Amino acid sequence: MGKALRLFVRTVDGFNRWVGRFAMNLLYVMGAIMVYAICSRLFLGQPVNWVMEMSQFLLAAYYLLGGAYSFQLDAHVRMDLFYGRLSPRRRAVTDAFTILFVLFYLGVLIYGGLSSTEYAWSFNQKNYTSWAPPMWPIKAIMTFGIFLMLLQAISALIKDVAIVRGKPFP
């Protein structure tokens, strides 16, 4: 494979590793928010109405920003009826074929995510709750997470093609 493809794979893998490790820490933020809400309600007698929604937003950011890192580590769920018995080269062929469907699906998701984010930004869309936060930040984070997954899928495709050609990446 050429130097440009190696640089692309190394850059995407490195960036997704960084974003995935950052996303791991969102669970601590979510936990701190939940503890704050519990303490506020129990000790101060003042319930906080934004906690549930904020924890949902953080959890969505956690799994969408961490999805590409999970994909990179091959830590996602897989139906492994026959796959585990295949040789590394045949696994790479299978992965390269199935990743084409994933790329199409992620492309459709990005198109919808961009459209939804643009709508939320243009019309100042707010959630229908008493807190009523703007929706564009979480939609932008979701679209960015899907974009990172698309880049990681392209990186995986490049690595699979290299394995099929008999020249795997180090």
Per-residue model confidence as pLDDT tens digits over 27-73: 999 999 999 999 999 999 998 889 989 999 999 999 999 999 999 99
Confidence at residue 151, expressed as pLDDT on a 0 to 100 scale: 98
Q: What percent of the chain has pLDDT over 70?
A: 99
The reported pLDDT for the residue numbered 121 is: 97
The H or E element that residue 71 is part of is: helix 51-72
Q: Enter the tokens of residue 170.
A: 């180090």
Query: What pLDDT was estimated at residue 76?
Result: 79
Query: What pLDDT, on the 0 to 100 scale, is given for residue 82?
Result: 86
Mean of the per-residue pLDDT values for the chain? 93
**pLDDT tens per residue across span 133-150:** 999 999 999 999 999 999
83 pLDDT band, cuts 50/70/90, is confident
pLDDT for 75 beyond 90:
no
Query: How far, in Å, CA of 109 to CA of 150, rounded?
Result: 10
Say yes or no to pLDDT of 126 above 80: yes
| 36-72 burial: b if 16+ Cβ within 10 Å, else e | ebeeeeeeeeeebeebebbbebbebbbebbbbbbbbb
Instruction: Give the mean model confidence (pLDDT) for residues 109-136.
Output: 95
8 Å CB contact between 75 and 155: no
Mean pLDDT, to the nearest integer, of 100-128? 96
Q: What is the DSSP letter of 126?
A: B
